[in-house]
Structure 1
């Protein structure tokens, strides 16, 4: 089988056991209604993001054809050892709906912060002949866990940085560029990097993951979602030899003689590089470049981050003119900054920034690069994401559906048709068993019968996901 064809065939994009499920629903079933939620996990709330990508990539338009059905029929016969595939059901979709999927998806707007244990989207069939279709697409739709979890993780890291900027800096203007995505090479595939990279950009404007930029442009109408700067890697420094490190650094300043440039400086001895090479031998060149609007960003890339970052700042402070800001914290001159790109994660950020604060260094002096911990060190259980049936109709009778395993009540599912509403205190809550108010429901129809109903832009999503602390700081600045 042609692997490219396989990867574009929705009739093949499901778990094997779902191929048999059309035989398993009660006779007379005409409607199956399911929902997706985060049942808990590492973070108490989630940034909902990424469903639009899945819809546009897999569901919009004529996605079912006779050729794809035939391909799937032959494949599943070999896979199971006999013919169990629902050819008739899929042919019905081609003949009655011209290959457009008769399902309806309602979802909370992307970028919305939703406390865990709340519905995020619902799915149901719109043709009573294909009730099995709702959960056929569980496999694809649950993959929303990944962009959602990356966006949530990224925002949580941004929140830590924002807290220290608020406490130790004169303003928070630099926050969009304080957490830079270094994760492309550590992702499991180009598609993973694209999805994860775009998810991080919901919260940030700094990235080296080009695939994420392409995804944001193609699926979320954003011409350019993020930015980067010229930067050295170890090979472009070490090829000059240990004795040539100074010349390698000098070359970076001269070839990129204005704007921001980042130079990895720990190839041999980070402290000597900072104190002697940058702080003495190339000091005048660094300052001259600064007078022309340039900024050198020094990158340590090894050692214990809280200790190394503070020591690098202290050494720079010995050789370059530092100032004290309005909050009493030290600030390097505007032509000099540090980026820590090794060992960065949600768990380590606070220790680095708290040590800087302890030594009276403003968080405005540093940016952070994050790779595996940003895009890869996550799984579906990070936020305990699940897709469950909560309602069906059998022989014209509606049934609330749920599970409640005595061995794990944390997996208890919701009942009936659901709505997401704000209570009297403004807190998002899920109303079950069809008792919600349609006027208050925040779940919006985004897909129906093969058509995308809402095309959300990256700008809208970013606005919804912004930190309250950032909005508060902007308000204070205006006063």
Structure 2
């Protein structure tokens, strides 16, 4: 990926971090910190994205004397004084470590689905002369919250679709294609699109955010692409023909991409007329003929009440395209035609739409969905209450358990001592504090040490870990019981 506006890692920081090296207890030689999801909207997190941050910013010689001088000038100007910046400490790092960061980072394998309130990774310095380095990079490392939260958000979408496909269809073969990432234009930056798009691809194979595949190719050993799409029209390609030539616009799209699948947006003017007179009339024979060659037309409503519009689209198509009843007792359109609902889709509207279709005898198999901002942008660090805290220090050769315990918010209490993450015999996860865990059972793996990647995950490994398992929690029940999420 191209360089960003800031390439000096010393400046990838909340600037107040620059003053902290002076205010740890005298004699401090070790600081050990951890990152966790303290709770939040969903009951678990899909851990993902740390490897990108490490490879992108922290691997190899990342600090030079020139960077130290630049940072000295910038930090001095920010504070308006020359006694804040740690010039000596950074120069020591360059001279004694060749610009590599003497840190050890241990993390749960990426793609692991971990219940909240458990440690996800730990960080500690390996050079006793640089204990402040551990928390200096909190700012950058905590940004793992974004890809991790999108991966979690996306997996909940998948669980909802999996739930309804299991109830209303004969198999689950198409689940991985039922939620399309349409969020590229709605995110805050190209990097957000790449990280969020990649996170969604852990769970689904449908995406227009090609930046996600680009990131995975560079940082996660992906061969090819992870997200797939199909030629599809947009409103401009229909409305540029003029209202009186809408039929010609659809026919032209359909004939231009005459093989395989094709998508057509239908609500540029009157969606009901478009479906009834065009796709169920003038264009019907073309649709059926394409079906004999294995192709499908995906008809897309893009406005109105999500659940009512989706149902009405199916009911209009049913009048002309003969449905069958599957083994679960639900109606299925022929394979040549499907509805794609990509307007206003979030967890709540997806659930209500699928429930509405089920109640009216329709299999989830008939409908595909797309999400944009609800998938990639309507999340923040507090969605899963992500936090990075010191839990252990060594001062004058003595180990010290470090913790916070704010009287005003017990939810922000932090963990103490060195931590291990263990999975018990019953499948539950437990974070053992105060160094009392069994190292042989620790799920945390050293992924980074002294400026080098020690463990390098492939995207395929990550996908396999995040797969929905038979013993996954009932996400529908959880969402109903918690804050009216559905």
Specify the TM-score bucket, using the shorter chain as the normaliser. Answer: over 0.9
Match of 2:62 in 1: 63
Instruction: Describe the SS at the equivalent of 2:68.
Output: helix
Aligned residues of 1:253 and 1:289 also touching (Cα < 8 A)? no
Counterparts of 2:333 and 2:151, CA distance in 1 = 31
- Report the TM-score, using the length of structure 2 for normalisation: 0.95
Going from structure 1 to structure 2, the CA distance change for 1:331 and 1:371 (only over 3 Å counts) comes to same
Matched, 1:141 2:135: no
Match of 1:22 in 2: 21
Match of 2:437 in 1: 436
Offset at 1:321? 1.3
Query: Pairwise CA RMSD of aligned residues?
Result: 1.3
Instruction: Describe the SS at the equivalent of 2:340.
Output: strand
Going from structure 1 to structure 2, the CA distance change for 1:330 and 1:206 (only over 3 Å counts) comes to same
Instruction: Describe the SS at the equivalent of 1:69.
Output: helix
Q: How does 1:308-347 map to 2 (within 5 A)?
A: 308-347=309-348
Counterparts of 2:472 and 2:129, CA distance in 1 = 49
Offset at 1:261? 0.6
Match of 1:475 in 2: none
Offset at 1:6? 5.5
Aligned residues of 1:28 and 1:395 also touching (Cα < 8 A)? yes
Match of 1:420 in 2: 421
Q: How does 1:26-425 map to 2 (within 5 A)?
A: 26-83=25-82, 84-223=84-223, 224-425=225-426
Structure 1 residue ranges (4+ consecutive) displaced by more than 4 angstroms after TM superposition: 3-6, 469-472
Aligned residues of 1:257 and 1:294 also touching (Cα < 8 A)? no
Counterparts of 2:471 and 2:449, CA distance in 1 = 36
Counterparts of 2:394 and 2:187, CA distance in 1 = 42
Aligned residues of 1:194 and 1:215 also touching (Cα < 8 A)? yes
Counterparts of 2:221 and 2:260, CA distance in 1 = 28
Instruction: Describe the SS at the equivalent of 1:319.
Output: coil
Counterparts of 1:4 and 1:253, CA distance in 2 = 41
Aligned residues of 1:162 and 1:470 also touching (Cα < 8 A)? no
Counterparts of 1:70 and 1:358, CA distance in 2 = 67
Counterparts of 2:217 and 2:39, CA distance in 1 = 31
Aligned residues of 1:217 and 1:225 also touching (Cα < 8 A)? no
Offset at 1:378? 0.5
Going from structure 1 to structure 2, the CA distance change for 1:469 and 1:343 (only over 3 Å counts) comes to farther
Offset at 1:456? 0.2
Deviations 1:358-385 (A, max 9, x none): 1111101111110000000000000000
Match of 1:12 in 2: 11
Going from structure 1 to structure 2, the CA distance change for 1:272 and 1:470 (only over 3 Å counts) comes to farther
Deviations 1:319-344 (A, max 9, x none): 11111111111111001111100010
Deviations 1:89-140 (A, max 9, x none): 1111101100000000000000001000000000000000000000000000
How many pairs are equivalent?
A: 470
Deviations 1:260-298 (A, max 9, x none): 111000001111111111001111111112122210000
Offset at 1:423? 2.2
Going from structure 1 to structure 2, the CA distance change for 1:98 and 1:35 (only over 3 Å counts) comes to same
Offset at 1:4? 6.0
> Which has the higher mean CA deviation after the structures are superposed, 417-426 or 150-159?
417-426
Offset at 1:34? 0.2
Going from structure 1 to structure 2, the CA distance change for 1:348 and 1:469 (only over 3 Å counts) comes to farther
Going from structure 1 to structure 2, the CA distance change for 1:4 and 1:255 (only over 3 Å counts) comes to closer
- Report the TM-score, using the length of structure 1 for normalisation: 0.97
Deviations 1:165-203 (A, max 9, x none): 001011100011101000000000000100000001010
Deviations 1:32-51 (A, max 9, x none): 00000000000011100000
Aligned residues of 1:37 and 1:116 also touching (Cα < 8 A)? yes
Counterparts of 2:94 and 2:376, CA distance in 1 = 38
Offset at 1:28? 0.2
Offset at 1:469? 4.4
Counterparts of 2:295 and 2:428, CA distance in 1 = 46
Aligned residues of 1:165 and 1:171 also touching (Cα < 8 A)? yes
> Which has the higher mean CA deviation after the structures are superposed, 244-253 or 439-448?
244-253
Aligned residues of 1:162 and 1:469 also touching (Cα < 8 A)? no
Deviations 1:405-452 (A, max 9, x none): 000010000000000001232201100000001100000000000000
Counterparts of 1:331 and 1:269, CA distance in 2 = 25
The gaps in structure 1 that reach 5 residues or longer are 473-479
Aligned residues of 1:29 and 1:131 also touching (Cα < 8 A)? yes
Aligned residues of 1:258 and 1:295 also touching (Cα < 8 A)? no
